[in-house]
Amino acid sequence: MITWAWPWAFVLLLPIALLPWQARWTGRVRLRLPGPDVHEGGHSPRTLLAKLPLLLRMAGLALLVVALARPQEVHRATVRTSDGLDILLAVDTSGSMRAQDLSLGGRGLDRLEVAKAVMDDFIEARPADRIGVVVFGEEAFTHVPLTLDHRTLRDVLRTITIGIAGESRTAIGSALAVSAKRLKDLEAPSRIVILLTDGRSNAGRLSPTEAAELAAALDIKVYPVGIGPAGGRRGLFGLSGDGVDERTLKQVATTTDGRYFRATDASALERVFEVIDQLEPSPGESEELVERTERFHPWAWGALLLLGLDLLLASTWLRSAP
C-alpha cells in the first residue's frame, strides 16, 4: 500500500498549473528569434515546439512535488506477543437449520445464515484467539482447523451450507467429541467449544452427556446455544421438528462448567455471543509492525531529467530573447 508522508505538498501543484499565465500577469513579452528554417506561409519545427520548454518545466515541477510529498510503500504485519484462547465453533448444519424464522437487518434468513453472520462478527472481534469450525449433522468433522488466519476462516465460514455433514439427523455428541479431540493437546489459557444447534441429538455413537464428560475431563468448557423459537420449528401446518433439547444442553453446560443460552431470534443470538465474549475475555495480545520504504527517488530523478532538458532546450535550440 502506498501512503504519503507529506500530502500537503500537493498544494504546490496549483501555482504550477498557473505557469502558462505567468508572462501575462507579469507584463513580460518574449520575442522569439527567427531562424533560417522559417518558411513563408508555414511553420518551422522551432515554432511548433515553442511551448515544449514550458511543458517540460511544468511536468518536471509536478514530479518534484510528488517526490516532495514522499510516497512510501507500507507493509503491515501483526505479531502475536502472547497467546489467546482456543475456540471451536461447532455448527449444526442439519436440515432443520433451513427454517427461515429469523431475520437479520430486516431480511428473513434461515437459521444457519443468521448464525454464520453472528459468528463472523465474533471472530472479527477476537484477533488474538485461535478459532476453528466443526460442522455436524448426521456426521461431525473439522471444517476449519484452529487458526489465527481469521480472514481465511471467515471466508470459509461463509461457504458452509445445509447438509454439508448430512441433513436428516443431528449428532451433537459426535460434534462435542470431535471438538474435544481437536483441543485436548493444546496449551492455551482456556479451551472452549461454542455449540450451536436447533435440535436434539439422534445420531452418533456418543450421547451429548457422554461427550460432555469427556470434554470436562480435558478441562474444556462448552457453551451450548439453542437456536430457534421456543417449542420447535414452526412450519406451514404448525410446529414441526424435535425442537431444542434444552434439558440435555443444560446438562452439557453444567458438566463442563460452561453455560447454556437460548436464542429465539437474531438479536438474542448476537447478545449470546456478546455475553460469551465477556465470560471468556481473551488474554492474547498482539502488536502491529509497520515497515515504510521510501519511494520518492524515481519521481525526483524524473523531475531533474525534465527540468534539465527544459534548461538545455531553452538556452540552445529553442532559445528566446526579450
pLDDT of residue 255: 97
Q: How many CA atoms lie within 13 A of 11 on its CB side?
A: 4
Question: Regarding the domain with residue range 84-283, which homologous superfamily does it belong to in the CATH classification?
Answer: von Willebrand factor, type A domain (3.40.50.410)
Q: Is the pTM higher than 0.75?
A: no
Question: According to the model, what pLDDT value does residue 252 have?
Answer: 96
Q: So what's the pLDDT on residue 36? A: 52
**What pLDDT shows up at residue 34?**
54
pLDDT number for residue 235? 44
Residues 202-221 have pLDDT tens digits of 999 999 999 999 999 999 99
Phi, psi of 235 (to 5 degrees): -105, -160
Listed by start position, the domains of the chain span 2-74+293-315, 84-283
75: Cα separation from own chain's centroid: 16
State the Cα–Cα distance between residues 217 and 215, nearest whole angstrom.
5
Q: Is 105 exposed, middle or buried (0-12, 13-18, 19+ CB in 10 A)?
A: exposed
Pairing of strands 130-136, 140-147: antiparallel
Contact 220, 191 (CB under 8 A): yes
pLDDT value at residue 196: 95
Q: Please list the ranges in the chain whose pLDDT falls under 50.
A: 29, 31, 33, 38-41, 233-241, 321
Please tell me the total number of residues recorded for the chain in this structure: 322
